[in-house]
Chain A
Amino acid sequence: MGYERERFFMDVLNNLVLGFSVALTPINILYCFLGVLAGTIIGILPGIGPVSGIAMLIPFSFGMNPTSAIIMMAGIYYGAMYGGSTTSILINMPGESASVMTCIDGYQLARKGRAGAALGMAAFASFIAGTFSVVGLMVLSPPLAKFALRFGPPEYFALAFLGLTAISSLGGSSLLKGLISGVFGMMIAMIGTDPISGASRFCYGIQDLIDGLSFISVSVGLFAIGEVMETVEGSLSVSHFKSKLSGLLPDIDDWRASKGALVRGSIIGFIVGVLPGAGATIASMLAYAVEKRISKHPEKFGTGIIEGVAAPEGANNSATGGALVPLLTLGIPGGAATAVMLGGLMIHGLRPGPLLFKQHGDFVWGLIASMYIGNIMLLILNLPLVRVFASILRIPRFILLPMVVVFSALGVYSVNNSLGEVYVMFIFGIIGYFMRKLDFPAAPVVLAIVLTPLMERTLRQSLMMSRMDLTIFFTRPVSCVLMTAALLSLFYPLLRYLWSNRDYLRKRKMNKNRGKL
């Protein structure tokens, strides 16, 4: 046993050396830097989240090799978590949804004149938790990938099904709307060529549709254009922050107050990140709630205490590392951001999964090593340069929004030099706007588009294997566990509703019975 553990750590160490040899090439350092820089800016800009950011920048990765591309995309993802805290603390507006919880205590700290300490703690918390999650990714991924090598079609179907049901039920405010989004995404994914029989479906003779709707067009439309439309309808004035930024280093009391929150936030974030469906936003909410519950002075939360910044900022960064575990080892993204990354990699002709993990160590370990480097870059970017980044907030919306539109349109155009794909982006922008307005989550649509080809192929293969017997998904142990989890995630909201209203329902039943008497 001891020997095996030793060998495992030797493997990890060897792989890490390999990873750093990839990540430390000048070109990859450059892309890592560009990624974290873009991520920080995207995180700061309200209205543009990490998903639209990654989707908008995918066209720029085409000249690169896939390793550089994933290094950059991941950099945007975790970089946005750093940047998002800046606006939360300074102007009480989350730059992206995972920083919502940081607003509560972060802004109060800023009002007390302690914006510097809050920003500093947010950056350190992100750094510590980010590094923790890279270690977790490094330790957890190899055994998981090895395990997944044995998966057959039923297991893959169950995995993808779980990924989709989990994000549909956890992602939005209503299970029903989440499911509608997911099924809508799957229906859209039907357009194009059938992966098994090769028949073209729902193309109506339109050449552009033979390959299916372009993933980039749909996600840029739903996220970037939809976000622009939603932002533009509101006030276009820019909020200024007034508090001065001084003393960016948290003092010893801050550290003492935050150290527990940092550890718990990192662990919660990583676990939530690995699980399908939840993501950085839920991780930060959970971490904040846990801190508040176990705190000796829960009443102080919301009045501006430093652990109220450390916990959610740690958790949202840790979740990004966790979210990469299922993406890299199984090829199944757990959320919208990783789904967009998967879509980007597939354009490069790369399909993450256990095989890739085994055969292309340079890709996986290069990414992991680059995340160590990226986190250090982010700490440097976000501590001394936070004033510079905060000034991005001064860019007026009437300038910013048309720029985002042009950038999206040209990016989508340059993928295949096709104007048709930009029209697809346009249509999905309008759909995305109404989905936002009506509270339909967009993430399940994107996830469904990425996962449906895999799901359809494995579903049909499985059913052919079993001669149309659905029990094949429940007679194999791994797929049985996954399917059960998927069904639970579907029915959990219903059960919770019945449970929380059990008194009411019981009373109503009693009243009815009384009526009969």
Chain B
Amino acid sequence: MEDDKIVQLYLNRDETAIRQTSEKYGSRLRAISYRITSDRETSEECVNDTYLETWNRIPPSDPKDYFYAFLAKITRALSIDRCRERTRLKRDSYIVELTSELEMCIPAVNDVADDVEAKLLGEAISRYLYTLSDEKQVMFIRRYFYLDTVSEIANRLSISDSKVKTTLFRVRNELRNYLIQEGYTL
């Protein structure tokens, strides 16, 4: 079923929308959450909370043209928050590892106006990513949006782990330079 029609069901407050969403995207959302939390029970919670959040956000949101990304962002944010809240998940080290990789290329976000600043920064990063080849874009987003391991990315792209690491290192350096040119302070 096409995404715009699923979104239309939400807009019409038709509960079939939830069933359609889980049937079409439940497997992918579960994978996103599990990659981040590495815990079956928590990922189940995050996916279910994604459905509730989606039901609450549409309307007024109307993500007909980007429904999967809309869902993925919610699942990702909920899953990262759960990891921070629940130290028993022992995902701190992985989250810290990924954050530290971004340390040198992304500026810290101001606590006060963080949503607005984070959004503007996200837009600047997107502009940079669009200058890259498809493979480099995918590598960066799989690593820092989907939180894939280096091996998972290498397997997806049929390349070696070392090539993934080297490429990500270069992309991060180029991103740093790009953001400095855009006026960000690092």
Please indicate whether A and B come from the same complex rather than being unrelated chains: no
